[in-house]
Amino acid sequence: MHHQELNVHRLANGMTLVVETMRNVQSAAFTLLLPSGSVFDPPDQNGVASVLATWLLKGAGKRGSQELTTDLDNLGVQRSESVGVSHLMLNGATLSHILHPTLEIYADIVRSPHLADEHFESSTAYVEQMLGSIEDEPRQKVMQELRRRTFKRPWGLPPEGSLDDLPRIDPDDVRQNWGKCVRPQETILGIAGNVEFEAVKSWVEELFGDWDNPLSAEFKELDSGPTFDHLQQESTQTQIGIAYPSVPYRHPDYYTAWAAVGVLSGGMSSRLFTEVREKRGLCYSVYASLNSLPHDGRVICYAGTTNERAQETLDVTLQVIRELKNGIGEDELARCKARAKSSLIMQQESTMARSSSVARDWFHLGEVQTLNDIHKRIEELTPQAVLEHVHQFPAQDFTILTIGPEMLEIPNDL
């Protein structure tokens, strides 16, 4: 792992710039986190942030919709927009000497989008198509509905929005959301690539320094849905979602929690894959991942199986999860570490991955972990430490959701 140059600059208006200089690449990437995630969607209007993410790119500053797209294409910017729970994210990557003109365009997108009525319908239609494809994809559907039941509202609402709420959203709702949420105070701009910090800092001061927005957005927290639930659907398959509490990204035990989940579900020699899929042939897909909000974490598991084998799949999956406390092998942890190291090396070669990591780290931790830091944290993990974590944060307080023709039986001892 090589040395990384990291610099942070906070603008007077509250915006934060985090820059990682990577001298051995020719590209530069940026991740702009705007404090306009789905938690700020007004009640019964889940999807406002999602519509905004698309609508923002339909003309800004002196450029109309087509001109904006053409100018970014001419600069060779690979770009994407997405909505998370806390943020609306704008990502872009290009050659490092083109970063400045690219940021000029994005400053317009953030600060003076047209949000013109004529482009509202196409932006909403795009979101509707995306939500329709989730409805048709049972695995995504069960994960989305599971989050809704395990996290408190509005944290568990689907960031993409919901088809039921979409018709209730009009252009003014979205403009109002932009006016309140998109503000410098909690905006984070992460940049990674072959760039000089001082130069980037002066561009960002010039483009964003006089941006001001005194408004602020808030939301009310409400309880989540039922712990055990079933959605009736005539189908030859049953989708199973299981969630239980873990630690968030900012918790000191995060990497130990990550390793515990890695033993359950990383690669083809992990426990869930071996026990549920390989040995018993119960299902075509099974996995678990660690999911983190700023203040709250969950392990979220999925299994997709035939109706005949659904009950056994649920029982065996829960059994494998709960038996993790009985011991963790050196070899299992070694495989987790090897997988983590290869992904760290790949990250080291990707400016896009690094720009989003530095921005995300700043949001969750108020500091940036270098790849060397992460490497060290992973290297230091021992089976004993992971096992202690599993005992300290046992798999309990489950949320279980199934989608299929038959309701499954939930074990009595949960």
Residue 148, CA distances (Å) to 159, 222, 226, 297 in order: 11, 11, 9, 14
Residue-wise pLDDT tens digits, 49-90: 999 999 999 999 999 999 999 999 999 999 999 999 999 999
Q: What pLDDT sits at residue 3?
A: 53
Q: Which backbone phi and psi does 38 adopt, to 5 degrees?
A: -70, -15
Q: What pLDDT sits at residue 232?
A: 94
Residue 45, CA distances (Å) to 41, 51, 309 in order: 6, 11, 38
Look at the domain 228-404 and name its fold: Cytochrome Bc1 Complex; Chain A, domain 1 (3.30.830)
Q: What pLDDT sits at residue 2?
A: 47
Q: d(Cα 77, Cα 313) in Å, to the nearest integer?
A: 45
Please tell me the pTM assigned to this model. 0.94
Q: What pLDDT sits at residue 218?
A: 85
Where do the domains of the chain lie?
5-208, 228-404
SS3 readout for the chain: CCCCEEEEEECCCCCEEEEEECCCCCEEEEEEEECCCHHHCCCCCCCHHHHHHHHCCCCECCECHHHHHHHHHHCCCEEEEEECCCCEEEEEEEEHHHHHHHHHHHHHHHHCECCCHHHHHHHHHHHHHHHHHHHCCHHHHHHHHHHHHHCCECCCCCCCCCCCCHHHCCHHHHHHHHHHHCCHHHCEEEEEECCCHHHHHHHHHHHHCCCCCCCCCCCCCECCCCCEEEEECCCCEEEEEEEEEECCCCCCCHHHHHHHHHHHHCCCCCHHHHHHHHHCCCEEEEEEEEEECCCCEEEEEEEEEEHHHHHHHHHHHHHHHHHHHHCCCHHHHHHHHHHHHHHHHHHHCCHHHHHHHHHHHHHHHCCCCCHHHHHHHHHCCCHHHHHHHHHHCCCCCCEEEEEECCCCCCCCCC
Q: Among candidates 379, 326, 343, 350, which has minimal Cα distance to 266? A: 343
Q: d(Cα 26, Cα 89) in Å, to the nearest integer?
A: 23
Q: What pLDDT sits at residue 135?
A: 87
Domain 5-208 and domain 228-404, same fold? Reply is yes
What does each of the 414 residues of the chain score in pLDDT, given as a tens digit?
A: 445 699 999 999 999 999 999 999 999 999 999 999 999 999 999 999 999 999 999 999 999 999 999 999 999 999 999 999 999 999 999 999 999 999 999 999 999 999 999 999 999 999 999 999 998 898 999 999 999 999 999 999 999 999 999 999 999 999 999 999 999 999 999 999 999 999 999 999 999 999 998 888 888 888 888 999 999 999 999 999 999 999 999 999 999 999 999 999 987 889 999 999 888 888 889 999 999 999 999 999 999 999 999 999 999 999 999 999 999 999 999 999 998 888 888 877 799 999 999 999 999 999 999 888 899 999 999 999 999 999 999 999 999 999 999 999 999 887
- What's the token pair of residue 136? 């048709």
Tell me the CATH class for 5-208. Answer: alpha beta
- What's the token pair of residue 116? 């013109």
- What's the token pair of residue 196? 């000089």
